[in-house]
């Protein structure tokens, strides 16, 4: 099908468009929120074309656009007084009201529901089309189902060229997110979708509080039925995997440096700081205040795909006013993937320097300590995957009858030659790394301390925000090892000499003298220097 481009401000083009609508065709029209894909709401064949062009699930009802509140009367069974107040206050405008449907409205328009969604759009071209055609116009957003709503004629063209009769080009939509959807068919009004008209504005007009569907900010449970069918379908989704990152810009920067997504979607005011921080990612921004975020969000989501980004970290807006609508769209675009970043401090150092003492102090300050020695034991519990792997490598004799590890036997076999040592390390380090990272990831919003002697040789180092090396004078370490591990002086010397990889350059070193209060002070000072404000330390 050839898709005509018509101009919104050309009266002749509006006549052509109205004629197409009366002939049962489907076309895209600008509204103040997003572009809509319009057809005669009372003509089932025309409405069916909308579903076909969008690839929209049949169970998702459409919004019916009308020229004024009067036109609603023939489409509903009743128009309650609260609807009248809301219409007077917000129509034309971005508020969709759900009311009991009149039998004259075909089932296909409302997806078989007994209710109908109505709104008067606040856009001269949409109003001109409604008045000229004298039809109620069913119009969902003019995107292919599942992708971000279109806010320019080009977005519509990208999605629907060749599938619809015409596009009425009215430039960029001024609001940018879809209308607020409010259900008035029950007792207390229920906000199904946040949009340009805020909850607070509605409550002020009604003089009472309204309910907000939990689906606005939470994913639906597996067997839950949504109040609005549209809520169950994946929406606004770019191909990129989005992660909404809560917290300060500084925490965001640290998190992005560590996790290395391909792209960052941030506020205008963040861009300079991000560039200064030397982040290598592609940076996109979506405005500098709530209205701009709304206006620019969908174009930005589309741009992520134009740039073929796979993983993108996003700074979400505040949830006040129209911010709630933006946040709601972002949550859906991200498939509800939202994190509070943790801050990972790696702790290493030579044997006897007091790593564990430092870890205990940090634990008392509220950090979550992951002790890799503990994990090394944990991964070799009876029946574990690691034990199986080790048995396959070194023989079944390394496992006792009761399923536990025979450490002596494993040591004898693994340390017999360099290959054995390497194989043992490969198996255990991989498992310890995976477990460490899983524990760390689960500790959202916390300061995580990873206590690992071999940290710098491990992949874990790449997942640390900061690494601190605990050191101590040689004699102090020797004395500590002797006291702690109950070994001979020779054995202690041997153990100290065995640690060859002592190049800690480039990392913070903390000298641990004998004085614990001093160590506490040094650790506190370190945290104050490296932690973004988001993290609470006692
Ligand atoms: O701003 C807007 O509302 C744009 C412009 C074009 O007007 N339209 C729009 O339509 O966003 P659409 O189809 O993308 O979203 C309509 C939403 C869907 O979530 C749908 O499930 C819900 O409204 N809806 C429609 N009729 C309903 C009904 N009778 N009961 C509950 N939800 C309904
Ligand atoms: Mg839509």
Q: How far is the CA of 140 from the centre of ligand 2 (A)?
A: 6
Pocket of ligand 1 contains residue 185 by CB under 6 Å = no
Which ligand is closest in space to the CA of residue 182? 1
Residue nearest to atom 19 of ligand 1 (CA): 230
CA distance 462 to 440: 13
pLDDT of residue 500: 66
pLDDT in tens, 287-311: 999 999 999 999 999 999 999 999 9
CA distance 54 to 348: 57
Which ligand is closest in space to the CA of residue 139? 1
Residues near 62 by beta carbon (within 8 Å), at least 6 away in sequence: 41, 47, 50, 109, 110, 111, 117, 138, 139, 140
CA distance 242 to 297: 13
Pocket of ligand 1 contains residue 140 by CB under 6 Å = yes
DSSP assignment letter at 220: P
pLDDT of residue 514: 79
Pocket of ligand 1 contains residue 133 by CB under 6 Å = no
Residue 352 buriedness (CB in 10 A; 0-12 / 13-18 / 19+): buried
Contact between residue 448 and residue 365 where contact means Cβ atoms under 8 Å apart: no
Residue 538 buriedness (CB in 10 A; 0-12 / 13-18 / 19+): exposed
Ligand 1 atom closest to Cα of residue 65: 7
pLDDT of residue 221: 74
CA distance 6 to 458: 61
Pocket of ligand 1 contains residue 33 by CB under 6 Å = yes
Q: How far is the CA of 8 from the centre of ligand 1 (A)?
A: 23
Q: Report CA Rg, the chain.
A: 31
SS3 278: coil
CA distance 300 to 306: 10
Task: Choose which residue among 63, 105, 116, 229 to substitute to test ligand 1 binding: the one with the highest number of ligand atoms within 8 A of its C-beta.
Answer: 63
Pocket of ligand 1 contains residue 228 by CB under 6 Å = yes
Pocket of ligand 1 contains residue 116 by CB under 6 Å = yes
Which residues are close to ligand 2, an ion, with C-beta < 5 A? Answer: 141
Ligand 1 atom closest to Cα of residue 185: 30
Q: How far is the CA of 137 from the centre of ligand 2 (A)?
A: 15
Q: How far is the CA of 536 from the centre of ligand 1 (A)?
A: 42
Which ligand is closest in space to the CA of residue 120? 1
Q: How far is the CA of 192 from the centre of ligand 2 (A)?
A: 13
Residue nearest to atom 30 of ligand 1 (CA): 228
Report the candidate in 53, 78, 74, 54 with the shortest Cα–Cα distance to residue 64: 74
pLDDT of residue 464: 95
pLDDT of residue 513: 86
Torsion on CA atoms 431, 436, 441, 445, rounded to nearest 10: 180
Q: How far is the CA of 181 from the centre of ligand 1 (A)?
A: 7
CA distance 456 to 19: 72
Pocket of ligand 1 contains residue 139 by CB under 6 Å = yes
Q: How far is the CA of 141 from the centre of ligand 2 (A)?
A: 4
Pocket of ligand 1 contains residue 117 by CB under 6 Å = yes
pLDDT of residue 78: 95
pLDDT of residue 484: 83
Pocket of ligand 1 contains residue 36 by CB under 6 Å = yes
CA distance 117 to 105: 11
pLDDT of residue 237: 81
Which ligand is closest in space to the CA of residue 186? 1
Residue nearest to atom 10 of ligand 1 (CA): 140
- How does pLDDT run along the chain (538 residues), one tens digit per residue? 999 999 999 999 999 999 999 999 999 999 999 999 999 999 999 999 999 999 999 999 999 999 999 999 999 999 999 999 999 999 999 999 999 999 999 999 999 999 999 999 999 999 999 999 999 999 999 999 988 999 999 999 999 999 999 999 999 999 999 999 999 999 899 999 999 999 999 999 999 999 999 999 888 776 677 666 666 656 778 889 999 999 999 999 999 999 999 999 999 999 999 999 999 899 999 999 999 999 999 999 999 999 999 999 999 999 989 999 999 999 999 999 999 999 999 999 998 899 999 999 999 999 999 999 999 999 999 999 999 999 999 999 999 999 999 999 999 999 999 999 999 999 999 999 999 999 999 999 999 999 998 899 899 999 999 999 999 998 889 988 888 888 888 888 888 888 766 788 889 999 998 789 999 999 999 999 999 989 988 8
Q: How far is the CA of 353 from the centre of ligand 1 (A)?
A: 64
Task: Choose which residue among 110, 120, 141 to substitute to test ligand 1 binding: the one with the highest number of ligand atoms within 8 A of its C-beta.
Answer: 141
Q: Which residue has the tokens 């074309």?
A: 49
Strands (E), 256-324: 263-266, 282-285, 311-314
CB atoms closer than 10 angstroms to residue 506: 8
Which ligand is closest in space to the CA of residue 180? 1
pLDDT of residue 229: 67
Q: How far is the CA of 41 from the centre of ligand 1 (A)?
A: 13
Pocket of ligand 1 contains residue 181 by CB under 6 Å = yes
pLDDT of residue 234: 63
Q: How far is the CA of 33 from the centre of ligand 2 (A)?
A: 11
Strands (E), 331-410: 338-339, 343-348, 368-371
Contact between residue 482 and residue 492 where contact means Cβ atoms under 8 Å apart: yes
Residue nearest to atom 24 of ligand 1 (CA): 61
Contact between residue 132 and residue 14 where contact means Cβ atoms under 8 Å apart: yes
CA distance 426 to 216: 46
Pocket of ligand 1 contains residue 61 by CB under 6 Å = yes
Q: How far is the CA of 140 from the centre of ligand 1 (A)?
A: 6
Residues near 300 by beta carbon (within 8 Å), at least 6 away in sequence: 265, 284, 285, 286
Residue nearest to atom 13 of ligand 1 (CA): 140
């Amino acid at each position: 099908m050839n898709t005509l481009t018509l101009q919104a401000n050309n009266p002749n083009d509006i006549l052509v468009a109205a004629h197409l609508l009366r002939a049962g065709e489907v076309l895209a029209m600008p509204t103040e929120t997003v572009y809509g894909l319009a057809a005669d709401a009372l003509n089932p064949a025309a409405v069916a074309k909308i579903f076909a062009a969008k690839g929209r699930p049949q169970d998702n009802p459409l919004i019916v656009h009308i020229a004024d509140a009067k036109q609603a009367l023939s489409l509903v069974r009743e128009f309650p007084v609260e609807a009248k107040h809301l219409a007077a206050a917000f129509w034309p405008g971005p508020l969709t009201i759900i009311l009991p449907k009149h039998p004259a409205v075909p089932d296909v328009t409302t997806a078989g529901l007994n209710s109908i969604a109505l709104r008067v759009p606040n856009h001269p071209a949409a109003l001109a089309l409604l008045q000229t055609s004298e039809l109620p116009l069913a119009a969902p957003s003019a995107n292919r189902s599942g992708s971000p709503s279109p806010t320019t004629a080009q977005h519509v063209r990208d999605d629907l060229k060749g599938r619809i009769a015409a596009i009425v080009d009215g430039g960029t939509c001024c609001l940018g997110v879809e209308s607020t959807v409010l259900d008035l068919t029950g007792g207390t009004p229920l906000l199904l979708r946040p949009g340009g008209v805020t909850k607070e504005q509605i409550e002020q007009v009604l003089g009472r509080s309204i309910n907000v569907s939990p689906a606005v900010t939470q994913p639906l449970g597996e067997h839950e039925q949504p109040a609005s069918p549209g809520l169950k379908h994946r929406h606004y989704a770019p191909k990129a995997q989005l992660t909404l990152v809560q917290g300060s810009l500084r925490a965001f920067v640290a998190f992005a440096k560590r996790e290395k997504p391909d792209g960052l979607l941030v506020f205008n005011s963040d861009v300079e700081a991000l560039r200064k921080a030397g982040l290598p990612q592609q940076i996109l921004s979506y405005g500098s205040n709530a209205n701009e975020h709304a206006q620019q969000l969908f174009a930005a989501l589309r741009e992520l795909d134009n740039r073929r980004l796979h993983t993108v970290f996003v700074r979400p807006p505040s949830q006040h006013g129209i911010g709630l609508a933006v946040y709601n769209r972002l949550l859906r675009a991200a498939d509800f993937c939202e994190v509070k970043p943790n801050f990972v401090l790696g702790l290493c150092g030579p044997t006897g320097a007091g790593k564990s003492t430092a870890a205990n102090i940090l634990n008392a300050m509220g950090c979550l300590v992951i002790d890799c020695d503990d994990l090394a034991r944990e991964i070799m519990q009876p029946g574990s995957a690691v034990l199986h792997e080790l048995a396959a490598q070194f023989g079944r004799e390394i496992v006792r009858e009761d399923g536990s590890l025979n450490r002596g036997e494993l040591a004898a076999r693994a340390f017999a030659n360099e290959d054995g040592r390497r194989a043992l390390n490969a198996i255990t380090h991989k498992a310890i790394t995976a477990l460490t990272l899983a524990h760390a990831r689960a500790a959202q919003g916390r300061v995580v301390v990873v206590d690992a002697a071999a940290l710098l040789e491990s992949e874990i180092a790449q997942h640390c925000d900061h690494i601190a090396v605990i050191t101590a004078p040689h004699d102090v370490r020797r004395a500590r090892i002797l006291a702690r591990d109950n070994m001979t002086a020779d054995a202690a010397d041997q153990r100290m000499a065995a640690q060859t990889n002592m190049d800690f350059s480039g990392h913070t070193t903390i000298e641990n003298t004998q004085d614990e209060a001093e160590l506490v002070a040094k650790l506190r000072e370190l945290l104050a220097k490296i932690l973004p404000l988001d993290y609470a330390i006692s």
